[in-house]
């Protein structure tokens, strides 16, 4: 027997699911690669930093420079780890939130826009950590962070936040409309 008004969850569009799954796959591949190629990645980053002493403020004294290189390498590694963690998490967030949007939002254009924002924002944001890590050897810690922020974190993060607030507002609106009816 079925309830007369049983919940009808709608599956988000296939491309959204594909992007979410790809994000999770990228996270797993990234996590596996950073463990498998840890030495090679560290060597690459270190050589990149040593090739640009001015960028990293290296002074040519081992006792001073080792500390600078160590900090940069720790942050380089942290960026890879954060990419792994965020890409995994945001993949799931994309699936959950786009399913809510597909189910709750009646207006087709609004639904498409919010789902598009959720998907692109959610999938793009974690890439910022990867970009940050990749830019550290050539641009230094702070410059790399600024670039990742303005190229990736701010636009994609903002897209996700805007879409989530719109989604929350829409859900609240449908609750109110339902009460009135």
Residues 123 and 90 sit within 8 Å (Cβ to Cβ) = yes
Nearest distance from C-beta of residue 70 to other proteins, angstroms: 6
DSSP assignment of the chain, as one string?
---TT---PPPPPHHHHHHHHHHHHHHHHHHHHHHHTHHHHHHHHHHHHHT-HHHHT--S-HHHHHHHHHHHHHHHHHHHHHHHHHHHHHHHHHHHHHHHHHHH--SHHHHHHHHHHHHHHHHHTTHHHHHHHHHHHHH-HHHHHHHHIIIIIHHHHHHHHHHHHHHHHHHHHHHHHHHH-
* Residue nearer to other proteins on the CB measure, 87 or 93: 93
Nearest distance from C-beta of residue 151 to other proteins, angstroms: 12
Provide the CB-side half-sphere exposure for 25 (13 A, CA).
6
Residues of this chain, 57-76, that bind other proteins according to CB under 8 A: 57, 59, 61, 63-64, 66-68, 70-71, 74-75
* Residue nearer to other proteins on the CB measure, 14 or 178: 178
Q: Does 164 bind other proteins (CB under 8 A)?
A: yes
Which range of residues in 14-22, 23-31, 32-40, 168-176 is near other proteins by CB under 8 A? Answer: 168-176
x/- letters, 116..155, toward other proteins (CB under 8 A): ------------xx--x------------x--xx---x--
Name the residues that contact other proteins, by CB under 8 A. 3, 5-9, 57, 59, 61, 63-64, 66-68, 70-71, 74-75, 78-79, 82, 93, 96-97, 100, 103-104, 128-129, 132, 145, 148-149, 153, 157, 160-161, 164-165, 167-168, 171-172, 174-175, 178
């Amino acid at each position: 027997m079925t309830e007369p008004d049983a919940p009808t969850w709608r599956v988000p569009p296939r491309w959204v699911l594909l992007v979410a799954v790809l994000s999770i796959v990228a996270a797993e591949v990234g996590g596996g690669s950073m463990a498998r190629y840890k030495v090679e990645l560290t060597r690459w980053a270190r050589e990149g930093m040593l090739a640009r002493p001015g960028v990293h403020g290296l002074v040519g004294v081992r006792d001073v420079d080792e500390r600078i290189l160590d900090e940069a390498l720790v942050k380089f590694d942290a960026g890879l780890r954060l990419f792994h963690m965020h890409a995994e998490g945001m993949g799931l967030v994309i699936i959950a939130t786009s399913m809510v949007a597909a189910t709750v939002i009646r207006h087709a254009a609004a639904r498409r826009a919010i789902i598009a924002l959720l998907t692109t924002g959610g999938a793009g944001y974690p890439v910022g950590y990867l970009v940050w890590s990749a830019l550290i050897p050539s641009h230094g810690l702070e410059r790399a962070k600024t670039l990742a922020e303005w190229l990736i974190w701010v636009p994609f993060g903002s897209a996700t936040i805007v879409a989530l607030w719109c989604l929350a507002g829409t859900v609240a609106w449908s609750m109110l409309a339902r009460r009135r009816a």
